[in-house]
């Protein structure tokens, strides 16, 4: 990373001031020191990423969970812009992560581990819907199951989304419906606890809303307390691949590593200098 930063300063970012580095990690990141407690997809365990990067580059470094940073990006510039009570879930190859915005601020928990919706035990009304006995939400609602349904071993998000939307195979529709039902129960629990204005879904979870947002919303409201759900709006994330770059840039720009996700003062543009 130090070599990359040096190369940028000599080429693409020559003459620009790099104010810091932001890193989005698909795993649990301890807030007080940026220690990555576990990032299974990367095989990182108790990795002092913030310290290592800061020492190597000489730049202030902020490290946080990727879904938390995705929530920040969608809140400031995306599907939840202007909304101060938001639940954000992102589905990726490594599972389901989540972030929360309450009163306009990211909720990170006492140690920084808040928002792990994918590790909750799902409520499944029909035993026929259960595919992973004793599994957690991300075992039932998963990208790999959607890939298998359309006969793919790997694909980027646009390819998978296209395969799902154009398939006329009843088994593909059955799998997306199954995942949508289980996801709806998880979202209803979040609605009952947090009473959000919006639920933003990113990654493969956004694919479950394509052409079915009203259906998903109805499923969520049917399982929620009526008053809690009456104002909720379910939306697909709009920042796509930029959401983690923007969220990490926000963390880097904030600079105060003890609280890298604090709200920033008004400023123009999505932090071009910090990226």
The answer to the question of residue 100 being in a domain is: yes
Q: Are residues 118 and 174 in the same domain?
A: yes
Residue 245 sits in the same domain as residue 208:
no
pLDDT tens-place string over residues 176-220: 999 999 999 999 999 999 999 999 999 999 999 999 999 999 999
Q: Alpha-carbon Rg of the chain, whole angstroms? A: 19
- For residue 255, the model assigns a pLDDT of 58
Assigned domain for 269 exists: no
CA atoms of 216 and 103, how far apart (whole Å): 25
Model pLDDT for residues 14-31, shown as the tens digit of each residue: 888 888 899 999 999 999
Q: Are residues 97 and 202 in the same domain?
A: yes
**What confidence tens digit (pLDDT) does each residue in 60-91 have?**
999 999 999 999 999 999 999 999 999 999 99
pTM of the model: 0.87
Judge whether 262 lies within some domain: no
CATH assignment at residue 37: 3.30.420.40
Residues 154 and 209 in one domain: yes
In a domain, 265, yes or no: no
- CA–CA distances in Å: residue 233 to residues 93, 100, 221: 26, 15, 10
Residues 226 and 247 in one domain: no
Close Cβ partners of 118 (under 8 Å, ≥ 6 residues apart): 89, 95, 96, 97, 98, 136, 137, 138
Residues 30 and 106 grouped into a single domain: no
Please check whether residues 148 and 193 belong to one and the same domain: yes
Is 228 found in the same domain as 153? yes
The range of the structural domain enclosing residue 205 comes to: 80-236
In a domain, 191, yes or no: yes
Assigned domain for 218 exists: yes
Mean of the pLDDT values across residues 21-49? 94
Q: How many domains does the chain have?
A: 2
Same domain, yes or no: 132 and 213: yes
Does position 247 have pLDDT exceeding 80, yes or no?
yes
Q: Are residues 120 and 217 in the same domain?
A: yes
My answer on whether 105 and 208 are in the same domain is yes
DSSP SS3 for 199: strand
Whether residues 94 and 152 share a domain: the answer is yes
pLDDT 10s digits, 108-166: 999 999 999 999 998 898 889 999 988 999 999 999 999 999 999 999 999 999 999 99
């Amino acid at each position: 990373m130090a070599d990359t930063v040096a190369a940028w300063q000599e080429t693409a970012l020559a003459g620009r001031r790099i104010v810091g580095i932001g890193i989005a990690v698909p795993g649990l990141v301890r807030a007080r020191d940026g220690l990555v407690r576990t990032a299974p997809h990367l095989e990182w365990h108790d990795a002092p990423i913030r310290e290592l990067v800061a020492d190597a580059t000489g730049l202030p470094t902020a490290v946080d969970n990727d879904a938390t940073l995705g929530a920040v990006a969608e809140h400031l510039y995306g599907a939840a812009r202007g909304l101060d009570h938001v639940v954000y879930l992102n589905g990726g190859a490594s599972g389901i992560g989540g972030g929360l915005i309450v009163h306009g601020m990211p909720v990170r928990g006492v140690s920084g581990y808040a928002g792990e919706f994918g590790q909750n035990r799902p409520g499944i009304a029909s035993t026929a819907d259960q595919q992973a006995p004793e599994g957690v939400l991300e075992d039932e609602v998963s990208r790999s199951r959607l890939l298998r349904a359309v006969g793919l071993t790997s694909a980027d998000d646009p390819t998978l989304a296209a395969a799902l939307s154009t398939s006329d195979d009843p088994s593909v529709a059955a799998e997306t419906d199954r995942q949508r039902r289980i996801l709806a129960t998880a979202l209803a629990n979040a609605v009952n606890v947090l009473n959000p204005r919006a639920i933003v879904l990113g990654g493969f979870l956004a694919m479950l809303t394509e052409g079915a947002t009203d259906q998903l919303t109805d499923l969520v409201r049917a399982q929620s307390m009526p008053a809690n759900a009456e104002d909720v709006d379910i939306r697909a994330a709009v920042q796509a691949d930029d959401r983690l770059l923007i969220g990490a840039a926000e963390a880097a720009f904030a600079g105060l590593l003890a609280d890298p996700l604090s709200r920033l003062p008004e400023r123009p543009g999505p932090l071009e200098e910090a990226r």
